[in-house]
Amino acid sequence: MVLGERLKESRMNRGYSQGDVADYLQISRQSISKWENGNSYPDLANLVKLSDYYEISTDELLKENQVLKNKIKKNELKIEEYYRKLAFIQRKSEKDEGLLLLAIALISFLITPIGLVVASFLLARNKQTNSLYKLVYLVSICGIAYNLFMGYGILSDIFSWGTTTVEYLG
């Protein structure tokens, strides 16, 4: 890309008109047009002022292709996003414990004192990459509630909580 094209691209990237740039440099708009068309070139002082006004270095103005640089940056961001998605899919397919955890969560309903510990362990072990992770959470939480209820029932029978005795006085 030649200097004129870079000047025009830099001006348009900043949203300036040729008149805006001409007013800033205190020259005619035709001079800006000639520079951008490649019919003439700015002197060194104006080139430095342009780089300040466009907020890019003179090196970039003279050597770099900003459009290509932006496309490369966008492509790198897309590639990074695709790699993240691919890594998530690979983690999901590598280690899917969803069905096993769900089965253990259902079994935790059967053994009341141990069910509390097992269901708590399942909550910690369950990961978002498991296929049934929401269902495992739901069943584990229900298992904990059920085990607490049953545990209270067992303890109330052992310690006679909530029972009253009535003596017959007759």
Domain residue limits, the chain = 3-63, 66-94, 98-159
Please give the residue that has the higher pLDDT: either 93 or 127.
127
The topology (CATH level 3) of 3-63 is 434 Repressor (Amino-terminal Domain) (1.10.260)
Contacts for 135 with CB less than 8 Å, ≥ 6 apart: 98, 102
Tokens of 47: 């080139």
Tokens of 141: 């939480």
Torsion angle, CA of 61/65/70/76, rounded to 10 degrees? -130
Its pTM stands at 0.42
Closest to 136 in 3D by CA, of 94, 167, 97, 170: 97
- In the DSSP assignment, the letter for residue 108 is T
pLDDT for the residue numbered 93:
56
Q: What percent of the chain has pLDDT over 90?
A: 29
